[in-house]
């Protein structure tokens, strides 16, 4: 299980390479973090959000219909 405070290494060990990565951009236009997106089915995803220091700050699962 991944939770806030985990490192990128911990996430990589648990889930492997993400399907894709997406930059998180702040109001000033600078990158403030990164989302790692894991595909868990045809329309299901888990997004792990990291802060700029490589620590998990949130995990969310969703289905795209």
What percent of the chain stands above pLDDT 90?
94
Per the domain annotation, does 42 fall within a domain?
A: yes
Per the domain annotation, does 16 fall within a domain?
A: yes
pLDDT digits (tens, 9 = 90+) for 18-58: 999 999 999 999 999 999 999 999 999 999 999 999 999 99
- The boundaries of the domain holding residue 15 are 8-63
Closest to 33 in 3D by CA, of 14, 11, 58? 58
Residue 65 has pLDDT above 90, yes or no: no
Per the domain annotation, does 23 fall within a domain?
A: yes
Inter-CA distances, 48 with 40, 52, 64, Å: 13, 13, 16
Number of domains in the chain: 1
pLDDT digits (tens, 9 = 90+) for 44-54: 999 999 999 99
């Amino acid at each position: 299980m991944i939770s806030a405070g985990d490192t990128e290494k911990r996430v990589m060990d648990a889930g492997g390479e993400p399907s894709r990565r997406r930059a998180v951009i702040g109001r000033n236009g600078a990158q403030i973090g990164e989302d790692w997106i894991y595909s868990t089915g045809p329309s299901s995803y888990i997004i792990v959000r990291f802060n700029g220091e490589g620590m998990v700050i949130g995990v969310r699962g969703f289905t795209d219909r």
